[in-house]
Amino acid sequence: MNEFASSIDRLLKRLHVYLSKGDRATGFPTSLSMFPPPPPIRQILTVSELTGLVRAAIETNFSEVWLEGEISNLRAPSSGHLYLTLKDESSQIRAVLFKGVAGRLRFGLEDGLHVVARGRVTVYEPRGEYQIILDAVEPKGRGALQVAFEQLKARLDAEGLFDEARKRPLPEWPRAVGVVTSLSGAAVRDVLTVLHRRCPTLRIIIVPVPVQGEGAAEQIAAAIGLLSDSGLVDVMIVGRGGGSLEDLWSFNEEVVVRAIGASRVPVVSAVGHETDVTLADFAADLRAPTPSAAAEAVAPVLAQIVSRLAELTARLQQAVTRRMEEERQRLRLATHQMAAVRYRIQEEMQRVDAAVFGMTAAVRLAVQADQDRRQVLERSLLSESPEATVRHGLAVVPQWLTRLHRGMKGAMAARAQRVQACLGNVHTLSPLATLGRGYSILRHAPSGSVIRRVEEVTVGEDLQAQFVDGQVLCTVKAVEPDHAA
């Protein structure tokens, strides 16, 4: 921070000289202690110009800076750049890792990680903020590979890739063993030597791959997948000889660890020496301390197999002989028992015949009894037959129909006479009949209401007289009530 303050002071002095160029034209001494400087010519800078001058000064004096601090506010947008803040107890500075630098990191950045970083200080002109563009980042107190190892181990362990429940037992009698390693190392020779010594008839399929360097992890993972999908091997050895952490790093790559976890056949990890630990060891079904130990774990001893087979053969022959003798005894006993069974069967056959004869006789008797009952019922039904009654009824029906027709005609004539009498009464009581006898109905002309009494009529009022054959409109000339009434 002191260097940054000194840089700002030098920048201000340069600005002061830049603004005081007019003093040289006057010829006055330049010593400020002898003569006071003339009033400077005021030159106004834009914000962009001032920011550019500050940026140039900062980048000139801080082109390469090493910083130590704690990461916070880490952001990783889709562009691939990383934005973060480096801070200590009292200060902080914004930092940027562009995509190319971020892609070369061997470990993942995370909030709270204490790091040492190298970069150049600059000014982000749109906001006028100074920041540092980082070119390299290392964990404080730990190597980048060690941090990357711990981060990947924690992430894969959280996914359950290292669970013991996923571990599969090695096949006891494998027919073929796959080996993924380098052909130029001592590991492949140790593996082949042990496999041939223990089981010369064992088929061995080697997929040669580079075990370190650029692209080695991808080739190792591809070889594991090839052997897993081929169906040609029953178990697989993946490994190499010893080396530094950097040399063994291909077996810590995520692509290799996931390929081991996805293998369809058991995998034995044999990377480095006994003290070397890689993530491949955690994902494998079995970790062997050395490649030779891995070969011993997967290959049975042929001599032991032959001895075991001979022992099993002898035990099998003894078991078969003992079983055959037991079956002979059971056969003899069964033969003796079959004679008694034959006699018993003959007795049961006689009993069955007797039962059949008895059942046949009983069925015949039951059938005969049913036939007799059927004949009795037929005779009874014939005696009670309704045929005669139906024939008698058919003869009487026409007579009843004739009587019915006669009764209906008489009833209809009587009802017709009653209807004619009612019509005569209705005609007699009809108002039209009354009008036909010379009467009329008077109504008020405007309203059409019937007039029943003389006092309802006034002189000069228009009246409507209803006759049997029409109407007459008349006017009242005089009203003469009948006092006697």
Distance, in Å, from the CA atom of 200 to the CA atom of 208, rounded to the nearest integer, reads 21
- The H or E element spanning position 471 is strand 470-475
**pLDDT surpassing 80 at residue 160:** yes
Residue 358 parent element (H or E): helix 302-383
Question: Would you say residue 23 has pLDDT above 60?
Answer: no
Q: Which of 14-18, 424-428, 443-447, 462-466 has the lowest mean pLDDT?
A: 14-18
Longest CA pairwise span in the chain (Å): 170
CA 468 to chain centre: 98
- Of the chain, the end-to-end C-alpha distance in Å amounts to 143
Distance of alpha carbon 258 from alpha carbon 160, whole angstroms: 11
pTM of whole model > 0.75? no
Q: Decide if domain 158-299 falls under CATH 3.40.50.261.
A: yes
pLDDT-derived band at 32 (thresholds 50, 70, 90) equals very low
Q: Which has the closest alpha carbon to 50: 22, 14, 5?
A: 14
| pLDDT value of position 143 | 57
**How far apart, in whole angstroms, are the C-alpha atoms of residue 211 and residue 204?**
19
Where does the pLDDT of residue 1 fall: very low under 50, low under 70, confident under 90, or very high at 90 and above?
very low
CATH code of the domain occupying 2-147: 2.40.50.140
Q: Residue 467: which H helix or E strand, with range? A: strand 462-467
Share of the chain above pLDDT 90, in %: 10
Q: Six-digit token pair at 344?
A: 């018993």
- Cα-based distances in Å from 81 to 78, 148, 345: 8, 19, 97
Say what the pLDDT of residue 411 is: 87
Residue 70: strand pairing partners: 87, 114
Q: How, if at all, do strands 92-97 and 129-139 pair?
A: parallel
Mean pLDDT of 347-364: 86
pLDDT by residue (tens digit) across 211-268? 888 889 999 999 999 999 988 999 999 988 887 777 888 888 889 999 998 999 999 9
Could you list the beta-strand ranges (E) of 372-456.
441-444
